[in-house]
Structure 1
Amino acid sequence: MPLFVDLDGTLIKTDLLIESAFFLLKKQPWMLLLVLYWLLLGRARLKAEIAHRAQLDFEVLPLQQEFVAFLQQQAQAGRSLYLATASDRSLAEPVANRLGFFKGVLASDGQHNLKGKRKLEAILTSVHDAPFDYAGNAHVDLEIWAKARRAIIVNPSGGLVAAAKKRRYVVQQVFDDRPPTIKTWLRAFRVHQWAKNVLLGVPILTAHAFTVTAIADTVTAFLAFGLVASATYLLNDLLDLVSDRHHPRKCKRPFAAGDINLLSGIFAMVALFAAGFSLAVQLTDTFLFTLLGYLCLTISYSFYFKRVVLIDVLLLASLYTIRIAAGAFAIDVTLSSWLLGFSMFLFLSLALVKRCTELLAMQRLERLSMKGRDYHVADYGVLSAMGVAAGYLSILVLALFISTPETLGRYSLPVVLWLLCPLMAYWVSRLWLKTARGEMHDDPLMFSLKDQASWIVFINMMMVTLVAI
């Protein structure tokens, strides 16, 4: 009994058309202007044009491992397996060749879009109307199961299993290896990264603006930045599917691992952007424009600058500093140039920690360079030197700030602020020591939030500042 297997969402935990479109968006965004024209020529033509311009890495596509193991057993038992997909043939055949147990491939070819009824017709033609089984994952597969002897359902869309059983289809087996939905979405949104938005509250502390209105506006700004940042994380992950799958840790991200449907990710991204900016318009115009600037910088980083050596870390440092500026604009207080200088040097140091950590990870994997980045393992020495220097420069700026007449007049006990310098020196030095030992997470801020010594430093710095006020 031949078994026909769907590709997108069934054999692999992703959608090759959407992956190809994001690859094109990242590498040749101007080509997407032709999408409407290609679509007018038919969906099959659209798929072919996008597929022929994409350069996907088929060796790292996320497979439904439990289902693949089942197919291998079926093939070893002598069963005839065929790949039947609406994806373009140029994408389907490399996947079939990778696995090696398919006897044939039925796929779209630029003229015929092999989906639903057309796929069923192609299957019936290939088996000469003989009985067959079919494995799929979507509601569009129901009309194929209507003619199949048995149904195999893999990572089903909502209500699919119930719909198949309601129609009295014979469901042979259901494979589902997807992790819990809410937990997976929270990982995709990177809610833990919202901790970085605490930087929005720094101007309240430095300006001594402890009013109910200022606190409420800061909370609103925190939420707006968090929602927009989560949307940009989704966009970044969708653009970086190939490089993430080659990364020892990022390969486990929900989109790279195939734990979340790519189309759902697009809808979620749009919803997060809308929610974030609906909150931003309730604050000052300056804050709104700052959030727009943050979004533009983040998108430019995702599309291009993350692959440009040194510019990427400078831009990362700027994205942190913008949060502090946005916090000042949200509560309408004057932004301190000293604070901007301090944060720029400090976050440049942290951005370099991130890159150095990634280079050490590549070194352990015996790779010479980072995929998707213009860095080589040999760059570690000079990058670490720049990072340590930037960290100490932030302490120098802090010391100069403490000694200014403005600070002396603003704080009742300004001399106490000098205790911040040794605390900062210890923290920066410890981060770089951990990095050199290979004990650093590739996100130093996340490392600090889980690090007991860092918390002791932060609490002491907060106490020193409050005493000085």
Structure 2
Amino acid sequence: MRVIDPPDSVDPPGSRGTARPPEPPEPVPGGTARALRGLPADLLALVRPLHSAKSILLVPVALADAGVWSLAALGAVAWAVAGFVLAGACVYVGNDIADRHRDRLHPVKCRRPIAAGRVPVVAAYLYCAALLVLLGAVIGSGPGRPYWPVLAYLALNVAYSRVLKHVPLIDVCAVALGFVLRLVQGYAAIGEPASEWLLVTVFSVALMLVVGKRRQELLGPGVAHRPALRGYSVGLADQMLQLTCALTVVAGLMYLCTESPLGPYGRPAMVLATPFVLFGLFRYLQVVLVEGGGGDPVRGVLRDRALAVTALALAVVLSVTFVLARHPALAGTILP
């Protein structure tokens, strides 16, 4: 009697229906030497240098409300930016250590240095500890300004990594709150209170980007990579995107009209900014809802030409208005 070998795809007893992590790659001759040569690049990749744009762009926003741009104010803001860049680097390394098992189930994140095995876990812990020491040195030697937003950001991310990331709805709010803390740190550096409408605007924009990312994840690996996605659906994400977009428009335009440092030019700035704000939001919704993007908000915003041009045009409008508000004599010679 002929015996037919079972197919290779049959699960062993007791394992039917369970997800299997990808097998580690086979060692290749000379792999250790190549790994050592590539270690600096992997360590740089761990801290997500492109994501430093979050701190570089948000923290200095406070300078718009500074009365005089003195060297002391500029230095304090620069120190605050450095502190948040280092805090973000610590968080990224810590998250990659904690999520290395789930990242191996993701088609893209499985290539991250720790998940792929290129950076040993022990080395990653030492790297994170070194970054924390450097962050402590920056805070300890910086200007005598409060750095509680940086410390709150670290505490928030510890709670996020352990608990909050697994709680639907709370997870996206926790991520958005990290952006608000960056803004608050900038204002703490110059010793000025932050505008309430500006805080709401930053929170709503960040929440919109995070929800767009969750929506894209629902179309990919799903709950195997992020268990909190069990509390979401594509329809819910679409509704949340609509709400956050509406809140972004209202809060942003109210800030320009009432609490911005533009003075009497606040209302004209609101009118001029409205088309760019709406088009930018429309384009983002098109990327997420039509093109299935939004998985990496930072790269998506920076690389999309329409969004980049719109953001640049909006920045020009606001910058020109800001200069005219700061220099009334110049405005008198230009405007009728």
Name the TM-score class by shorter chain.
0.7 to 0.9
Equivalent pairs: percent with the same residue? 24
Q: 2:248 aligns with which of 370, 373, 394?
A: 394
Q: Trace 1:22-421 onto structure 2 (pairs within 5 A).
A: 59-60=21-22, 62-66=24-28, 155=32, 176=34, 180-197=38-55, 198-207=57-66, 209-281=68-140, 282-286=142-146, 288-362=147-221, 369-376=223-230, 379-404=233-258, 406-407=259-260, 410-412=263-265, 414-421=267-274
The answer to whether the 8 A contact 2:79-2:138 is kept is: yes
In structure 1, runs of 5+ residues without a counterpart are 1-56, 68-152, 157-175
The answer to whether the 8 A contact 2:66-2:190 is kept is: no
Query: For residues 415 and 461 of structure 1, what CA distance do their matches in structure 2 show?
Result: 13
CA positional deviation for 1:416: 2.5
CA shift digits 1:338-395 (9 cap, x unpaired): 1111111111111101101111223xxxx6x343322149701111211221122111
Structure (1 or 2) with the greater helix fraction = 2
Q: 2:303 aligns with which of 430, 450, 453?
A: 450
| Change over 3 Å in CA distance of 1:289–1:416 after alignment to 2 | closer
The answer to whether the 8 A contact 1:245-1:256 is kept is: yes
CA positional deviation for 1:241: 0.9
Amino acid at match of 2:183: I
SS of 1:382's equivalent in the other structure is helix
Amino acid at match of 1:359: L
Residue of structure 2 in register with 1:124 after alignment: none
CA positional deviation for 1:201: 1.0
Amino acid at match of 1:375: L
Query: Using CA pairs below 8 Å that are at least 6 residues apart, which structure has the higher relative contact order?
Result: 2
SS of 1:60's equivalent in the other structure is coil
Query: For residues 120 and 216 of structure 2, what CA distance do their matches in structure 1 show?
Result: 30
Query: For residues 188 and 408 of structure 1, what CA distance do their matches in structure 2 show?
Result: 38
The answer to whether the 8 A contact 1:398-1:421 is kept is: no
CA positional deviation for 1:252: 0.7
Alignment pair present for 1:460 and 2:313 = yes
What is the RMSD of the two structures over their aligned residues, measured on CA atoms?
Answer: 2.4
Count of equivalent residues: 302
| Change over 3 Å in CA distance of 1:307–1:430 after alignment to 2 | same
SS of 1:228's equivalent in the other structure is helix
The answer to whether the 8 A contact 2:213-2:297 is kept is: yes
Query: For residues 154 and 65 of structure 1, what CA distance do their matches in structure 2 show?
Result: 7
In structure 2, runs of 5+ residues without a counterpart are 1-18, 323-336
Amino acid at match of 1:452: R
Query: For residues 301 and 206 of structure 1, what CA distance do their matches in structure 2 show?
Result: 31
Amino acid at match of 2:26: Q
TM-score by length of 1: 0.60
| Change over 3 Å in CA distance of 1:178–1:250 after alignment to 2 | farther
CA shift digits 1:402-429 (9 cap, x unpaired): 332x548735464133222221221122
Structure (1 or 2) with the greater strand fraction = 1
Amino acid at match of 1:185: L
Task: Report which of the two structures shows the higher radius of gyration computed on alpha carbons.
Answer: 1
The answer to whether the 8 A contact 2:160-2:174 is kept is: yes
SS of 1:374's equivalent in the other structure is helix
TM-score by length of 2: 0.82
